[in-house]
């Protein structure tokens, strides 16, 4: 878990957290020795303890979750500890220890049949940071995704076996158990192992920001697991009373653990990246450097007025710093949540999805454009899908190679035009026909002959004429006390709340073909109360799902600055231009926009 500035209503959050109910759980030394040799793993919860644990009620549409073998989770922890030992005692994100950890987890998942992707963190991460690792079980409804994540990196001072080998290993064994049992799936399950969490949640931030709005909307909930085996720990749940948390709470309630809200971890682990994007989140934790209260020690056992994890961010965070009882209860709760949300008794009907990329093309008469038509099995078994297209005007032809695919495969679509094809923009409908039929669209622009007439395309770019045609948080537009316009009297004031918030303004325009250049200019004033040179609050300029520019509180200065972006790649396309400001939990940053223009020439 990363150390991070937290602010609530302008004050630093200072709380003492509760710890989880562990009957005589092993504890670490209050004053750990530097670089102790790895200790043997704490004992596994006896079989008799399992017999005393009631099985939570299962919904009629799901099957019982398995009892995950905690000894197998501990075996993964032993390997992560060995990896750290071979690499200077650490698995920090920029080191070989982290890359070897990724390779270990990846090899297990690939052998089990997962679709595995390494995502390099190309912006915002520490220099040399390794990739995120994403694994998806390729069954279930692809439009309904439940995601489970944990950071795989450690601090530089130690191997990070509780922080956060515990969460990483628990997710790995849960994923392998899912693959082994191979139940019918009602929804997709995706796992993420994040890089560079200890440097500021950077890997998960990068992953979430790289998702399109459509892909974000598919993620119905994200569950985070960071430090789930603390030796003096407690049973904490993120957003304890939320809808997302209910399966997790239901399982721990069945063990009479009386979990508490994870206040210590709020905003300090990777769930915060998803939470900022509007995705429901929850997760388990057992505490870090905060101290257990007397009431919590009475309720859960352990030692009052002592850190939940006395080896937090230290070299003694080895396999000897693991509470096997808490680890076992956590991993079984993870499995319970996954099975309840995504597994079903019934065999789902065969279905597939259909998509075209790119979804637009611009050509001169007599030339052609290509795009990839992708299919995926969203439920049931793979099936044969026949591809066709309609809506092509005279002089335009569409062909597919191959014309028939098995869902999960792709085809190359070629859109050809004759020299007599009339200039204009046309919507083609691409159809996939199998046991069911799905369609998607492709927008073709046939360029016209002749020169370019330069023009300014944005309407009401100075915000002087009401709010139309801007959409989004149009209440940001006006003449407000505390800020001034670049010209005229009105402007768009995005952010400035001093609390978690997002403001966006969008306008859709068509950039005509025939011109060689399109340039966006806008005037931006940034002021902030942030004092650290860290990008807590951001301002982004996007076209569709592509981010063209990112600024932050670190760019604050007196007065307005004119910013310029080249939009020439979008000539001949209809685009949605969006300004978005996002603030974190405290200390305001205002992003004030005025006199925006999109000029062709």
pLDDT tens, 236-274?
999 999 999 999 999 999 999 999 999 999 999 999 999
Omega cis (within 30) before 402: yes
CA–CA dist 114, 122 (Å, integer): 24
CA–CA dist 218, 233 (Å, integer): 34
- Please answer whether residues 352 and 377 qualify as being in contact, where contact means their C-beta atoms are separated by less than 8 angstroms: yes
CA–CA dist 277, 275 (Å, integer): 5
CA–CA dist 213, 506 (Å, integer): 14
Residue 485: band (very low, low, confident or very high) from pLDDT cuts 50, 70, 90? very high
Within 10 Å of residue 10's Cβ, how many Cβ atoms? 11
Whole-number mean pLDDT of the chain? 89
Higher confidence at residue 555 or residue 38?
A: 555
Over residues 72-92, the mean pLDDT reads 98
- Please answer whether residues 505 and 492 qualify as being in contact, where contact means their C-beta atoms are separated by less than 8 angstroms: yes
pLDDT at residue 186 is higher than 70: yes
pLDDT at residue 4 is higher than 80: no
Length of the chain: 601
500: tokens are 């978690």
pLDDT of residue 348: 73
Over residues 168-179, the mean pLDDT reads 98
CA–CA dist 48, 382 (Å, integer): 44
Of these ranges, 172-181, 360-369, 511-520, the one predicted with the greatest mean pLDDT is 172-181
pLDDT tens, 17-73?
333 333 333 333 333 333 333 333 433 333 333 333 333 333 334 579 999 999 999
pLDDT of residue 56: 39
Residue 295: band (very low, low, confident or very high) from pLDDT cuts 50, 70, 90? very high
- Please answer whether residues 192 and 204 qualify as being in contact, where contact means their C-beta atoms are separated by less than 8 angstroms: yes
**pTM of the shown model:** 0.58
Say which residue the tokens 């922080």 belong to: 163
Over residues 569-573, the mean pLDDT reads 88
pLDDT of residue 25: 38
pLDDT of residue 175: 98
pLDDT at residue 81 is higher than 90: yes
CA–CA dist 272, 249 (Å, integer): 19
Q: How far is CA 580 from CA 132, 272, 474, 563, 591, in A?
A: 25, 18, 12, 15, 9
Q: Is 548 helix (H, G, I), strand (E, B) or coil?
A: strand
315: tokens are 């070299």
**Strand boundaries in 11-153, DSSP class E:** 11-12, 115-119, 132-137, 145-151
pLDDT of residue 365: 84
Residue 366: band (very low, low, confident or very high) from pLDDT cuts 50, 70, 90? confident
Segment among 42-51, 60-69, 155-164, 218-227 with least mean pLDDT: 42-51
- Please answer whether residues 458 and 509 qualify as being in contact, where contact means their C-beta atoms are separated by less than 8 angstroms: yes
Instruction: Classify burial at 455, counting beta carbons within 10 Å of its beta carbon; exposed 0-12, middle 13-18, buried 19 or more.
Output: exposed
pLDDT tens, 449-461?
544 567 899 999 9
| Side-chain half-sphere CA neighbours of 456 within 13 A | 10
Domain positions in the chain: 70-342, 351-446, 455-600
Strand 219-225 relative to strand 281-285, pairing: parallel
Within 10 Å of residue 110's Cβ, how many Cβ atoms? 12
Q: For 455-600, which CATH class?
A: mainly beta
Catalytic sites, residue numbers: 197
pLDDT at residue 346 is higher than 80: no
Q: Residue 444: beta bridge partners?
A: 361, 426
Residue 511: band (very low, low, confident or very high) from pLDDT cuts 50, 70, 90? confident
Q: How far is CA 285 from CA 71, 158, 590, in A?
A: 20, 20, 34
Residue 1: band (very low, low, confident or very high) from pLDDT cuts 50, 70, 90? confident
Over residues 498-514, the mean pLDDT reads 90
Check if CATH label 2.60.40.10 holds for domain 351-446: yes
SS3 of 518-536: the string is EEEEEEEEEEECCCCCCCC
Residue 377: band (very low, low, confident or very high) from pLDDT cuts 50, 70, 90? confident
331: tokens are 């991993």
Ramachandran class of 198: left when φ > 0, alpha when ψ lies in -120 to 50, beta otherwise: alpha
CA 560 to chain centre: 33
Write the DSSP assignment of 333-359 as a string of letters. Answer: HHHHHHHHHHB-SSPPPPEEEEEEESS
Closest to 526 in 3D by CA, of 491, 485, 561: 561
141: tokens are 């409804």
SS3 of 371-404: the string is EEEEEEEEECCCCEEEEEEECCCCCEEEEEECCE
pLDDT of residue 78: 98
Strand 518-528 relative to strand 477-478, pairing: unpaired
- CATH code, 70-342: 3.40.630.10
Closest to 327 in 3D by CA, of 17, 20, 16: 20
Rg (CA), the chain: 27
pLDDT tens, 425-455?
899 999 999 999 999 999 999 887 544 567 8
pLDDT at residue 594 is higher than 50: yes
CA 415 to chain centre: 35
pLDDT at residue 290 is higher than 50: yes
DSSP state of 161: I
């Amino acid at each position: 878990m990363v150390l991070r500035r937290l602010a609530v209503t302008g004050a630093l959050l200072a709380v003492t957290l509760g710890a989880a109910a562990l009957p005589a759980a092993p504890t670490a030394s209050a004053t750990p020795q530097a670089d102790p040799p790895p200790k043997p793993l704490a004992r596994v919860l006896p079989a008799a303890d399992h017999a005393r644990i009631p099985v939570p009620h299962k919904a009629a549409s799901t099957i019982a979750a398995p009892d995950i073998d905690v000894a197998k989770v501990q075996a993964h922890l032993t390997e992560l500890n060995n990896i750290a030992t071979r690499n200077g005692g650490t698995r920090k994100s920029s080191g070989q220890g982290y890359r070897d950890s990724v390779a270990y987890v990846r090899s297990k998942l690939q052998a089990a049949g997962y679709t595995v992707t390494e995502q390099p963190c190309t912006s915002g991460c520490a220099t040399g940071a390794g990739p995120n690792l994403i694994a998806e079980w390729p069954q279930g409804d692809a439009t309904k995704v439940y995601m489970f994540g944990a950071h795989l990196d450690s601090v530089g001072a130690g191997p990070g076996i509780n922080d956060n080998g515990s969460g990483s290993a628990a997710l790995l064994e849960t994923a392998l158990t899912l693959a082994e049992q191979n139940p019918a799936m009602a929804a997709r399950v995706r796992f993420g192992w994040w890089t560079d969490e200890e440097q500021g949640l950077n890997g998960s931030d990068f992953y979430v920001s790289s998702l399109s709005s459509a892909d974000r909307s598919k993620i119905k909930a994200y569950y985070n697991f960071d430090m789930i085996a603390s030796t003096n720990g407690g049973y904490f749940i993120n957003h304890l009373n939320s809808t997302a948390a209910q399966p997790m709470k239901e399982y721990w309630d069945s063990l009479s653990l009386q979990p508490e809200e994870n206040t210590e971890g709020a905003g300090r682990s990777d769930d915060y990246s998803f939470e900022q994007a509007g995705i429901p989140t929850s997760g388990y934790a057992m505490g870090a450097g905060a101290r257990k209260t007397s009431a919590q020690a009475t309720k859960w056992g352990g030692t009052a007025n002592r850190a939940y994890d006395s080896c937090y961010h230290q070299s003694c965070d080895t396999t000897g710093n693991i509470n096997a009882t808490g680890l076992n209860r956590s991993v079984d709760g993870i499995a319970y949540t996954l099975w309840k949300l995504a597994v079903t008794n019934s065999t789902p009907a065969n279905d597939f999805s259909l998509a075209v990329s790119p979804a637009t093309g611009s050509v001169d008469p007599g030339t052609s454009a290509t795009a990839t038509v992708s299919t995926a099995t969203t439920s049931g078994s793979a099936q044969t899908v026949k591809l066709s297209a309609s809506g092509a005007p005279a002089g335009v032809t569409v062909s597919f190679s191959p014309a028939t695919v098995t869902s999960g495969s792709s085809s190359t679509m070629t859109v050809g035009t004759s020299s007599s094809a009339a200039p204009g923009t046309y919507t083609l409908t691409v159809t996939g026909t199998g046991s069911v039929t799905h369609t998607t669209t492709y927008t073709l622009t046939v360029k016209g002959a002749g020169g370019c007439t330069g023009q300014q395309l944005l309407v009401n770019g100075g915000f002087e004429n009401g709010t139309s045609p801007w959409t989004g948080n149009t209440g940001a537009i006006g003449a407000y006390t505390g800020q001034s316009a670049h010209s005229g009297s009105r402007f768009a004031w995005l952010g400035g709340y001093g609390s978690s918030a997002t403001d966006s303004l969008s306008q859709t325009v068509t950039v005509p073909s025939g011109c060689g250049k399109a340039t966006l200019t806008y005037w931006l004033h940034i002021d902030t109360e942030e004092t650290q040179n860290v990008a807590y609050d951001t301002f982004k300029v996007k076209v569709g799902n592509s981010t063209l520019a990112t600024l932050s509180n670190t760019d604050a200065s007196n007065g307005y600055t004119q910013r310029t972006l080249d939009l020439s790649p979008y000539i001949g396309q209809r685009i949605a231009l969006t300004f978005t400001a996002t603030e974190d939990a405290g200390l305001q940053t205002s992003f004030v926009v005025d006199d925006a223009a999109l000029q062709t020439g």
